[in-house]
């Protein structure tokens, strides 16, 4: 009987589970002008939210006192169409979750500018260098505010490995949703521009709840220039070949 019990222990081990690692994100409220006095508002349902969570949605006009838009707590959706909006003025939107019947603190607001265009997307104004064009992008919370930013590859003249000749220097840029440029990285003349070898990734590698400068994985070489607002001179030493690990460790300790 003892042998059977021991065998069963190895053949049918107890189910093991580990806590799932998740980003520390906010509600991600967005608002889009639909025209004719209507504004679509959407926000994020979090993986940690209980099943019985509800929301109140608020609008503030030109910085005035916020007005609740829903008569009853919103329980079936994270979408709302606001009607009768004066889109010639600035409007901001935010939500307050309701837990156990108690309204919680408000998250970040989304500001819909006056006379925002009627369109089904949010436009981000890029500062694309001359001769370059927007290419691949990835998202992540780069500054720890709970909202996604965009890391964008700006591509210039490129060439496949089968072709000889020089290419332009690959550039990465980070933008906030409101079009603020956070930083720009020029990967340097020793990194060949092309779809096969200028891939990058954005992930919270050190699991601190946000994606810092060192959590952007890229191929680097000597003559990397990471812009005037970051410690780029450290990487301009012609004799210093910088790999991803060196780059990440330096950025995290900076």
Which tens digits make up the pLDDT trace of 165-177?
Answer: 888 888 999 999 9
Residue where a domain stops, chosen among 65, 82, 112: 112
3-state secondary structure of 242: coil
Do 235 and 144 reside in the same domain of the chain? yes
Do 150 and 205 reside in the same domain of the chain? yes
**128/122 Cα distance (integer angstroms):** 18
Residue 219 is predicted with a pLDDT of 57
Residue where a domain stops, chosen among 112, 143, 164: 112
Do 84 and 141 reside in the same domain of the chain? no
Residue recorded with tokens 């981000």: 124
- Taking only the tens place, the pLDDT of each residue in 98-139 is 999 999 999 999 999 999 999 999 999 999 999 999 999 999
**144/141 Cα distance (integer angstroms):** 6
What's the domain range around 142?
Answer: 133-253
List strand residue ranges (DSSP E) for 109-170, in order: 110-112, 133-140, 149-155
Do 247 and 137 reside in the same domain of the chain? yes
Do 137 and 247 reside in the same domain of the chain? yes
pLDDT at 14 over 80: no
Q: In this structure, is residue 226 part of a structural domain?
A: yes
Residue where a domain stops, chosen among 83, 112, 141: 112
Do 57 and 153 reside in the same domain of the chain? no
Do 160 and 249 reside in the same domain of the chain? yes
3-state secondary structure of 239: coil
CATH number of the domain at 105, please: 2.60.40.10
How many structural domains is the chain composed of? 2
- Are 141 and 211 in contact by the 8 Å Cβ rule? The answer is yes
- Are 59 and 94 in contact by the 8 Å Cβ rule? The answer is no
**43/51 Cα distance (integer angstroms):** 16
**209/227 Cα distance (integer angstroms):** 25
| Tokens describing residue 83 | 């009607």
143 pLDDT band, cuts 50/70/90, is: confident
pLDDT at 239 over 60: no
Do 138 and 235 reside in the same domain of the chain? yes
Lowest mean pLDDT among 132-136, 151-155, 244-248: 244-248
Of residues 143, 169, 156, the one with CA closest to residue 226: 169
Do 141 and 226 reside in the same domain of the chain? yes
Residue 166 is predicted with a pLDDT of 84
Mean pLDDT of 239-250: 38
Cα angle 25, 27, 32 (rounded to 5 degrees) comes to 130
Residue recorded with tokens 């607002």: 229
């Amino acid at each position: 009987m003892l042998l059977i019990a021991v065998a069963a222990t190895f053949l049918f081990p107890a189910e093991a589970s580990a806590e799932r690692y998740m980003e520390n994100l906010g509600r991600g409220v967005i608002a889009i002008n639909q025209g004719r006095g209507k504004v679509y508002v959407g926000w994020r349902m979090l993986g940690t939210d209980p099943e019985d969570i509800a929301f109140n949605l608020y609008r503030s006009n030109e910085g005035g006192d916020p007005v609740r838009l829903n008569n009853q707590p919103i329980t079936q959706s994270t979408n709302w169409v606001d009607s009768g909006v004066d889109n010639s003025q600035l409007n901001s939107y935010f939500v307050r979750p309701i837990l156990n019947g108690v309204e919680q603190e408000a998250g970040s607001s989304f500001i819909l500018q006056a006379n925002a265009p009627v369109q089904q997307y949010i436009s981000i104004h890029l500062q694309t260098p001359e001769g370059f064009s927007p290419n691949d992008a990835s998202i992540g919370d780069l500054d720890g505010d709970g909202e996604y930013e965009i890391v964008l590859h700006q591509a210039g003249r490129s060439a496949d490995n089968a072709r000889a000749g020089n290419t332009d220097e690959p550039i990465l840029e980070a933008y906030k949703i409101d079009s603020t440029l956070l930083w720009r990285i020029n990967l340097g003349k020793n990194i060949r521009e092309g779809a096969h070898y200028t891939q990058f990734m954005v992930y919270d590698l050190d699991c601190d709840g946000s994606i810092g400068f060192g959590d952007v994985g890229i191929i680097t070489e000597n003559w990397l220039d990471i812009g005037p607002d970051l410690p780029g001179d450290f990487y301009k030493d012609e004799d210093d070949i910088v790999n991803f690990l060196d780059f990440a460790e330096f950025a995290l300790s900076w």
